[in-house]
Amino acid sequence: MTRWKPDAAGRLTAAALALFDEQGYDATTVAEIAERAGLTKRTFFRHFEDKREVLFGGSEELLRRWEEAVAEAPPGAAPLAAVAAGFAPLAEMFEERHAFARVRARVVEANPELQERELMKLQRLADVVSAALRARGVAGNEAVLAAQAGVTVFHVAFARWVAQSDPAAFGGLLEESLQELRGLAAAGG
Interface with a copy of itself, residue 127, by CB under 8 A: no
Please state the closest distance from residue 113 (CB atom) to a copy of itself, in A: 9
d(CA 97, CA 82): 25
Give the separation between CA 106 and CA 65, rounded to whole angstroms: 25
Spatial separation of the C-alpha atoms in residues 164 and 184, rounded to whole Å: 24
- Minimum CB separation of residue 153 from a copy of itself in Å reads 8
CA dist 84 and 78 (Å) reads 10
Mark residues 82-121: x for contact with a copy of itself by CB under 8 A, - for none.
--x---------------------------x--xxx-xx-
CB-based burial of residue 48 (10 Å sphere; 0-12 exposed, 13-18 middle, 19+ buried)?
buried
State in angstroms the smallest separation of the CB of 115 from a copy of itself: 7
Evaluate whether 85 touches 73 at the Cβ level (below 8 Å): yes
Least CB distance to a copy of itself at residue 5 (A): 38
Q: How far apart are CA 183 and CA 188, in angstroms?
A: 10
Q: Which is nearer to a copy of itself, 16 or 144 (CB)?
A: 144
Binding residues for a copy of itself, rule CB under 8 A, total 36
Which 3-state string (H, E, C) describes 71-95?
HHCCCCCCHHHHHHCCHHHHHHHHH
Among 2, 42, 165, 187, contact with a copy of itself (rule: CB under 8 A): 187
Alpha-carbon gap, residue 98 to 181, rounded angstroms:
24
One residue of 8, 18, 30, 156 binding a copy of itself per CB under 8 A: 156
Q: Does 177 bind a copy of itself (CB under 8 A)?
A: yes
Binding site for a copy of itself (CB under 8 A): 78-81, 84, 112, 115-117, 119-120, 122-123, 141-142, 144-146, 148-149, 152-153, 155-156, 159-160, 177, 180-182, 184-189
